Structure 1
Amino acid sequence: MIRYIILLIFLVVWLYILHVTKKAKLPFWHFLWGSAGLFVIIFVGFKDVLTQPMANIVAAVAGIVGKMTGVFEPYYKYGIIFVESAKDSITLKIDFECSGIIEITAFLSLLIFFNVYSRYEKVIIGCIGTVYIIVANALRIILICLIIHFKGVDYYYISHALIGRIFFYILSIILYFYVFTKAQIISQKVGGFGYVDDNK
């Protein structure tokens, strides 16, 4: 209960500072405060609600490859994956960290306040980007499962903490480059500052 009271107070402060930065025509600070604040609001307010559904989705998407190859068995209703190797087996639980909720929340928070795009474009890019992150995360899980299946459970840590994470970060960088960096560069080349009217 206390958490939601603090969140409500933060929401009021967030909206007020958003209004001030917009009226003062400070686009960079409006973007920075808006995206960071929205991330905190969604993360704190909806993390518990969204984590398990996202884990189920990722397990289901990754499970398509698992069922086709027989390398691992998904139990998407519970957000878990059972992987067998030649010597042993392991059950992987897709928890909060692996669900992709952090990455999706960060991406959408930045996109909403990244005013190079119109509102219609943000909706389309937001949907495509969310699907992209889910698929990228599922591919990371598949990669981890494949390594464990062929190399054994001893490779769980290195496949999860190192190989899988680097793989996912590379895919995330590609998304961020095309959605944010490239779009900003193009808008500057055609003479725009990189921000358009919020009412567009």
Structure 2
Amino acid sequence: MTIFTVVCFLVWIYLLSVFTRGKLYFYQFIWGSVGLFVFMMMWIQPVAIRPLTNLVCSAAGVAGRMTGFYESYSEYSMLFVQHGSEAISLCIDYECSGIIEMMAYVSMLAFFRVYDWIQRIILSVLGCMMIFFANIIRLFVIGTTIYYFGNDAYYIAHTIVGRIIFYALSVILYYYIFTKSQIVKQKIGGFHYAKNTDTSV
């Protein structure tokens, strides 16, 4: 941790407190979410990435072994898919682990004032689990597609089909956690914002 990083963190905390005291909740949300995401990527991601990629590989391997479509080697964070005489190894790296999406989700939820702190913690855990399983489904679809159609299908399976499935599931998560909850807790009939939310904003 460098001095520059510490200074940036202190500035982030200070401005966050300014926005909170001034009840500038929109700026608090933007500043807080972006800052928390950056610091989590700097401090937590390097520690969590290796265990997470191994866990993702192991979980995806369960589906692969059950169907016989591919094998997993969690110690190398790798999936091995064979199609006839062809074979391909899929390396689960930083981008494929889902850690970026998890940290972005947690960072936004941490400053989403519709929920209280207990709700945010619970939804953070549940949301990360959903992102994790969405990633497993994505990897399974990629492996299955290659198993049936060969290595030539890798680009379409990974870049198009897999991403569409993963981000479609992510959109559903974001809709229910952020969009729908915001609508439900507005003043519609008997519904109100959470007590800690300033309805004038």
- Matches for 1:33-182 after TM superposition, within 5 Å: 33-182=31-180
Q: Give the number of equivalent residue pairs.
A: 196
Query: Could you say what secondary structure the match of 1:98 adopts?
Result: coil
CA contact (8 A) 1:85 1:149 kept: yes
Q: TM-score, normalised by structure 2?
A: 0.92
Work out the percentage of aligned pairs sharing the same amino acid. 43
1:188 correspondence with 2:186: yes
Query: Could you say what secondary structure the match of 1:188 adopts?
Result: coil
CA contact (8 A) 2:187 2:193 kept: no
Following superposition, the deviation at residue 193 of structure 1 comes to 5.1
Any unmatched runs of 5+ in structure 1? Answer: none
1:21-53, Cα deviation, whole Å (9 max, x unpaired): 011110110011001100000012222211111
Of 158-167 and 184-193, more deviation after overlay is shown by 184-193
CA contact (8 A) 2:53 2:94 kept: yes
Query: Could you say what secondary structure the match of 1:91 adopts?
Result: strand
Amino acid at match of 2:166: F
Query: Could you say what secondary structure the match of 2:183 adopts?
Result: helix
Any unmatched runs of 5+ in structure 2? Answer: none
Amino acid at match of 1:145: G
The residue number in structure 2 matching 1:11 is: 9
Partner Cα separation in structure 2 for residue 153 and residue 172 of structure 1: 27
CA contact (8 A) 2:72 2:78 kept: yes
Following superposition, the deviation at residue 195 of structure 1 comes to 7.2
Partner Cα separation in structure 2 for residue 194 and residue 33 of structure 1: 21
Following superposition, the deviation at residue 78 of structure 1 comes to 2.2
1:57-94, Cα deviation, whole Å (9 max, x unpaired): 11111111111111100112221111111230011110
CA contact (8 A) 1:61 1:138 kept: yes
